[in-house]
Amino acid sequence: MFTGLVETKGTILEILDTSDGRDFLVTTSWVNSDIKLGDSISVNGCCQTVTEFSDEGSKFRFYSTFKTLELTNFGLLKVGEEVNLERSALPTTRLGGHIVSGHIDGIGKILTLEKREGGSVICYTVSNDSVLSKYIAPRGSITVDGISLTVVDSRAGEFDLVLIPETLKKTNAKFWKPGTILNLEIDLVARYLEQLLKPQQ
């Protein structure tokens, strides 16, 4: 589990294609690194497993299967790009964002952006799959590329976000522009509520 509070950014050093997936090498800088083989790390909001690491965790590899490539923006990532990183939450972690599973529900695309306050605040309109629309509510939570954010407004097939300077500084959101593809995870509570309210067969 994660909180959606991005710890740090990483840079992709290498991408290796395999017969049914992709292997990624990332370099980053952690505060108090404790990376181990098999650890779960949120990469752009997608839970991935550390398969190899070096330099006390400042470099690590993860493998994405063909299904992950289908559901996320990982198939579009290139060497040199920055990704958002968060280690899995500890029982003592402050839950400053919201409960995030790291299981991507779909992708969205930036439709428009508007800079305000001299560019220190940016407003985005994001398209989303119509199946996801019913889970996205104004003032509700959503995870976008691993960032826990609050939905400002929502309409059929799209929703609005406002990102503050701190978020833009600590994440890869400063590189988002119209056409950028983003990983989306809907609020876990909404997903389970729908399941509970389904008529029993």
Q: Which residues make Cβ contacts (< 8 Å) with residue 105, sequence separation at least 6?
A: 132, 135, 184, 185, 186, 191
Determine, yes or no, domain membership for 2.
Answer: no
Task: Give me the CATH number covering residue 124.
Answer: 2.40.30.20
- Going across the sheet that includes 158-163, the strands are 147-150, 141-144, 181-186, 106-116, 121-128, 158-163, 153-155
Place of tokens 């395999």: 18
- The answer on 65 and 38 residing in a single domain is yes
- The answer on 128 and 72 residing in a single domain is no
- The answer on 112 and 193 residing in a single domain is yes
- The answer on 149 and 83 residing in a single domain is no
Q: Which domain holds residue 185?
A: 106-197
- The answer on 79 and 15 residing in a single domain is yes
Q: Provide the pLDDT for residue 28.
A: 96
Instruction: Please give the backbone phi and psi of residue 58, each rounded to the nearest 5 degrees, phi first.
Output: -75, -15
- The answer on 134 and 183 residing in a single domain is yes
- The answer on 25 and 65 residing in a single domain is yes
Note down pLDDT in tens along the chain; length 201 residues: 899 999 999 999 999 999 999 999 999 999 888 899 999 999 999 999 999 999 887 999 999 999 999 999 999 999 999 999 999 988 777 777 788 999 999 999 999 999 998 888 999 999 988 778 888 999 999 999 999 999 999 998 999 999 999 999 999 999 999 999 999 999 888 777 877 887 776
Strand pairing report for 82-87 and 147-150: unpaired
- The answer on 111 and 69 residing in a single domain is no
- The answer on 186 and 119 residing in a single domain is yes
Q: Provide the pLDDT for residue 201.
A: 64
- Contact indicator for 126, 69 with CB cutoff of 8 Å: no
Determine, yes or no, domain membership for 98.
Answer: no
- Contact indicator for 184, 104 with CB cutoff of 8 Å: yes
- The answer on 128 and 73 residing in a single domain is no
Domain count, the chain: 2
- Contact indicator for 183, 107 with CB cutoff of 8 Å: yes
Determine, yes or no, domain membership for 92.
Answer: no
